[in-house]
Structure 1
Amino acid sequence: MGGFEDREKAFEAKYARDEEVAFRVTARRNRLLGQWAAAQMKLTPEETEAYAKSVVQADFEEAGDEDVVRKLVGDLTAAGIAIDESTVRVAIEEMAAEARRQFMEAK
């Protein structure tokens, strides 16, 4: 029975590690999205840092990416930049790939 319990603990540990990696990659992706949007809005470096943090925080409002999409589309539109959800979703995919790449390089 000890072997089964060991396997169960190993699976639980792997699941916890996988969830932590996913969380870190998503947070990095959101930071990159914030930097991308800040560049579109021509924010200063200080404003860019604060904005990137606000995008990371926005992702905690609800499950999924809809909260981030709404924030980015709303903020960019308010800044006078013509943008639609599909453009933001493409940026999300690009930044997700970049975040995964950065995470793997950092290991």
Structure 2
Amino acid sequence: MTTFDDRERAFETKYARDEEVAFRIVARRNRLLGQWAATQMKLTKEESDAYATAVVQADFEEAGDEDVIRKLVSDLTAAGVEIDEPAIRRAIEEKTVEARRQLMGSQ
């Protein structure tokens, strides 16, 4: 029975680790998206850092990416940047790949 218990603990540990890595990738991606959007809006370095943090925090409003997409579309449009939702979704895909590379490279 201990082999089964050991295997179960190993799976639980792996699941917890995988979830933590997924969370960190999404958080890093959102920071990168915030920096990308800040560049589009021509914000200063300090404003860019604050905006990137705001994008990360926006992701906690609801499950999924819709809250981040709404924030980016709204803020970019308000800043006079012509952008649509498909362009934001493409940026999300690109920044997800970049975030994964950055995290995997640092481990």
TM-score, structure 2 normalization? 0.99
- Amino acid of the structure 1 residue aligned with 2:69: V
Q: Which structure 1 segments of 5+ residues have no match?
A: none
What is aligned with 2:37?
37
| Counterpart Cα distance in 2 of 1:101 and 1:15 | 20
What is aligned with 1:70?
70
Q: How much has 1:49 moved relative to structure 2?
A: 0.2
1:56 and 2:78 aligned: no
- Moved >4 Å (runs of 4+): none
Aligned residues: 107
What is aligned with 2:84?
84
| Counterpart Cα distance in 2 of 1:83 and 1:63 | 23
Q: How much has 1:67 moved relative to structure 2?
A: 0.3
TM-score, structure 1 normalization? 0.99
Q: How much has 1:47 moved relative to structure 2?
A: 0.1
- Amino acid of the structure 2 residue aligned with 1:46: E
- Amino acid of the structure 2 residue aligned with 1:40: Q
Deviations 1:47-95 (A, max 9, x none): 0000000000000000000000000000000001111000000000000
- Amino acid of the structure 2 residue aligned with 1:81: V
What is aligned with 1:20?
20
| Counterpart Cα distance in 2 of 1:104 and 1:10 | 21
